A and B are shown apart, each in its own frame.
Chain A
Amino acid sequence: EVQLVRSGAEVKKPGESLKISCKGSGYSFTSYWIGWVRQMPGKGLEWMGVIYPGDSDTRYSPSFQGQVTISADKSISTAYLQWSSLKASDTAMYYCARSGASYWFDPWGQGTLVTVSS
């Protein structure tokens, strides 16, 4: 079974750094893109970026370029999403998902809730 298992919920203060993870299993991790999607409270889905773990080719949404860093460690089948300095507006659910050739997302991880509050 293809699965993406995310790291647990985080509560951080503004200005702090954070790195959340997403571990893939049940498929060839290096053969599919992994994407990250943000969902702010009560809002819709926003694509943040994707990474191809096979060669670490990374593409960002213009809306998130420079705001976050996406990386992957293929030796442990894990993708990461990180912030260097969190803001309150980063409070959201963050989903990772495997992505296919035409950028469909399937399956999705359960989501990591990030809360940024002073």
Chain B
Amino acid sequence: GENVEQHPSTLSVQEGDSAVIKCTYSDSASNYFPWYKQELGKRPQLIIDIRSNVGEKKDQRIAVTLNKTAKHFSLHITETQPEDSAVYFCAASNIPGNQFYFGTGTSLTVIP
């Protein structure tokens, strides 16, 4: 089955700096990679996703890159703000099947 690893487990950055979270996956058949943000006491929410036929996707301050050859994908947050503080989860999925394999999460703290 798929194995998703996520690093780092905790990350602290100064407000305005960039944050990068990296994930690797093992199953070359995985073709869909969403990222979720979970604020304290709240549900995980989809913030951005990327499909295997795309190398990079950007949405305002958030971007995701995918390297299929190396089987890794990363979340980039630029100009971080205190409200970006949360736990971020990556996931990999092989569509069809629709089962998501999650990383262990990264606790991001943005220091004002």
A binds B: no
